[in-house]
Structure 1
Amino acid sequence: MTTPVLTRRALNRALLARQFLLERAPLSPLEAVTHLVGMQAQAPNPPYVGLWSRLAGFAFTDLAELLSSRRVVRLALMRSTIHLVASVDAEPLRAVLGPVFERGFRATVGRAFDDVDHEQVAAMGAEIVAGEPLTAAELGRRLAVRWPGHEPDRLAALVRTRVGLVQVPPRGLWGSSGQARHTTLGAWLGEGAVSPLSLDVVVRRYLAAFGPASPADAQAWSGLTGLREVFERQPDLLVFHDESGRVLYDLPEAPRPPEDIPAPVRLVAAFDNLVLSHADRTRVIDDEHRKPVIMGTGNGNVRPTVLVDGRVVGMWGTRRVKRTAVVEVTQFGKLTARTKREVEAEARRLLAVTDPDADTTEVHYLP
């Protein structure tokens, strides 16, 4: 039997459907965050824009309330980067991803910490921040009193490697500022029973939000390794090829819309997992455009992007000029007049939410 082939456009439409970018979904923010297996949140504001782009009737106060009521939390998870996730997922995901943190720490410090009892440092660090949320620098300085021969920032990094540390509000609240302060998951959410997650379930949840995909794709999203066996041991997964012959897997019940279904213009948030969660990202962004979006910022940033017909055609940002709110669009090639009108309409809808006090709004196109 011949393995079905999925074109790049078919993969694009499947991804957009699962990311709620073909049409805004009538879901609560908590339902959406759970389905998406979290949202990358290295900066506080992008998840608000990410949910606004995806959900019908979403208000920024909805997400702020979820953070304040501790139903969602911010902590390092996939790829050791900060994600906003449903609280019920935080500890199970952190446990599954433990090897990612250990590997990253070892790659950074090498054998520099071989003379230190890692569990002892982690336990003391957890005790300190459970009693009082601290910045990483503050935690490191306190640990350095006990271990003066080691750099404070690396001591704090060791705690972060071994302990799930939550960034507590007001960090993550729209319009708030300030340094990230951390406490333990147990101190923030309570020490109740936690249902573990198997790798099999993690893979299935990844496919539900990002599939069809390969083991290499899931590894790029999570930072885990050795996932091929996890895919191959699940007999109900459907098997496809892409146009390059790569083997892709998918859930039988997951949406795979017709490739000719229209895709609306969307403004995708900074750091969005849409452009980060596959080894082969050509289903949504051309290789030539990855560098300015993902690599060209020099400080680990991932620029917000403009989607037209489901693909990244540019980047965007906002600024204020007194009472005028502006969206600036950097184009990858020339947009048609009709496309520009659609981009401008979406940009003005966003500015109405992000800058409700502005007297006027403008959309500027940069070369």
Structure 2
Amino acid sequence: MSIRTGQMSHLSWSEVCARRLERHALSVPSRDARPADVVAAMCGAHAQVLSAAELSIGLRVAGLTRADVRRALWEERSLVKTFGPRGTVHLLPTGDLPMWTGALSALPLRNSHAKNVRLTPGQTDEVVEAIAAVLQDAELTIDELSQEVIAATGPWAGDLVMPGFQDMWPRWRQALATAADRGALCFGPNRGRKVTYTSPRRWLPGFRPADGATALAGVLKRYLHAYGPATPAQFAQWLAVPRRWAAELFESLAGELERVEVDGAPAWLAAGDGAMPSAPPRGVRLLPYFDAYTVGCHPRELLFPGPAAGRALAGGQAGNFPVLLVDGTAAGVWHQRRSGRRLDITVEPFAPLTAARRGELDDQVERVGEFLEGEPRLTIGTVTVGAHA
């Protein structure tokens, strides 16, 4: 690529780790950030497991409680639960929703469904319009939403053709994430054990997605701020888009990016955002399932060195195991099991911990227990629980 601005910087992996830890508030937890501030800095908190997303946020802000995160999500509405990068469930700052929806709705379309299952572009538009209309002033379960969408569009939308969790789902459901990308849908509070969906316009008056090109530039710069230096291929993996498309986006923003080298390999930052911490990467952290740091940071072979590649990744995919992070790299896995107020936390380090590291781990266990409102008990041993799906 031809992107280059000024004198090229030569960075070490250690410097990159220190930068990313600082940007993620994992070197020193913030003392005054709001949940939405932290989530913005992470480019979203992966919320496939909502309790894990809550803990991801809680570990980054000193003294923050689980009630604080839930208040931000369901009462203050400064956070929104919706479909984000890779079509997966995320918590995003509500104030950033115009940028995110503008960017996600501008991504190249990829449809992995068989031809006899797919919605046509026109049918997709019909479904999204129906969803927007029925959720305007409502919070509906998936079954209630399905009835409304089929009634508004036609029987074809209800054809049970989509495989889903040992069941068959109606055809229209393949447009669920698309509706979120276009700003027509987000998650509402659970009704008992059932998920609900609603419209983000209910608490963001005047909301509409931002211009696609502007929004994509914004998301790329946010990504590079949190996870840079990074390459187009790494950005493509994070966003689940074709590599060529990502390379073209980088090239289109050539004047706003600068090239650096990380241990001799080329990577990119947003121009003017090359500040590095003066101290080396430090700290022991217990990152939960799908924490943004482990999912978004690359190269994998440096973030998950040696035995970590086989033990803390699932088929090369990050996030499926909670990770013991030491000085910015994966150094173990862990698991917690709850019984009443007691939290049994098992940590499996990949190498012996020094006395100082063990003290930091004890502090981190206490913080996890505090946030999860439990009484933690630490065991150093083998984690026998497999990868999360």
Q: TM-score with structure 2 length normalisation?
A: 0.80
Determine which of 194, 208, 231 is the counterpart of 2:250: 231
SS in structure 2 of the partner of residue 246 of structure 1: strand
- Measured after TM superposition, the shift of residue 167 of structure 1 is 1.0
Determine which of 368, 371, 374 is the counterpart of 1:350: 368
**1:182 pairs with 2:197:** yes
**1:333 pairs with 2:339:** no
SS in structure 2 of the partner of residue 155 of structure 1: helix
1:289 to 1:136, Cα distance in 2 relative to 1, 3 A: farther
Match of 1:302 in 2: 320
SS in structure 1 of the partner of residue 268 of structure 2: strand
- Measured after TM superposition, the shift of residue 274 of structure 1 is 0.6
Unaligned 5+ runs, structure 2: 1-5, 161-168, 383-389
What is the letter of the counterpart of residue 243 of structure 1? D
**1:200 pairs with 2:217:** yes
**1:73 pairs with 2:90:** no
1:120 to 1:236, Cα distance in 2 relative to 1, 3 A: closer
Determine which of 254, 276, 291 is the counterpart of 1:272: 291
Q: Residues 93-132 of structure 1: matches in 2 within 5 Å?
A: 93-100=100-107, 102-103=109-110, 106-113=111-118, 117-132=123-138
Matched pairs, number: 355
1:350 to 1:49, Cα distance in 2 relative to 1, 3 A: same
Deviations 1:67-99 (A, max 9, x none): 122221000011111111111212331221125
- Measured after TM superposition, the shift of residue 271 of structure 1 is 1.0
SS in structure 1 of the partner of residue 300 of structure 2: coil
Distance 1:119 1:161 in 2: 9
Distance 1:35 1:269 in 2: 17
Distance 1:304 1:139 in 2: 34
Deviations 1:97-136 (A, max 9, x none): 1255841xx1134453356722122222332333532333
Percent identical among aligned pairs is 23
1:122 to 1:236, Cα distance in 2 relative to 1, 3 A: closer
Deviations 1:279-328 (A, max 9, x none): 52344322752454342699x96222111122111122222345532211
1:142 to 1:193, Cα distance in 2 relative to 1, 3 A: closer
1:219 to 1:342, Cα distance in 2 relative to 1, 3 A: same
Question: Retained in 2: the 8 A contact 1:207–1:251?
Answer: no
1:130 to 1:340, Cα distance in 2 relative to 1, 3 A: same
Question: Retained in 2: the 8 A contact 1:218–1:278?
Answer: no
Unaligned 5+ runs, structure 1: 172-176
What is the letter of the counterpart of residue 34 of structure 2? S
**1:25 pairs with 2:44:** no
- Measured after TM superposition, the shift of residue 336 of structure 1 is 3.4
What is the letter of the counterpart of residue 155 of structure 2? W
Question: Retained in 2: the 8 A contact 1:18–1:209?
Answer: yes
What is the letter of the counterpart of residue 11 of structure 2? L
1:324 to 1:119, Cα distance in 2 relative to 1, 3 A: closer
1:246 to 1:301, Cα distance in 2 relative to 1, 3 A: closer
- Measured after TM superposition, the shift of residue 166 of structure 1 is 1.0
Question: Retained in 2: the 8 A contact 1:314–1:329?
Answer: yes
Distance 2:266 2:209 in 1: 37
- Measured after TM superposition, the shift of residue 194 of structure 1 is 5.6
SS in structure 2 of the partner of residue 125 of structure 1: helix
**1:160 pairs with 2:184:** no
Q: TM-score with structure 1 length normalisation?
A: 0.84
Match of 1:174 in 2: none
**1:248 pairs with 2:268:** yes
Question: Retained in 2: the 8 A contact 1:11–1:283?
Answer: no
Distance 1:187 1:287 in 2: 49
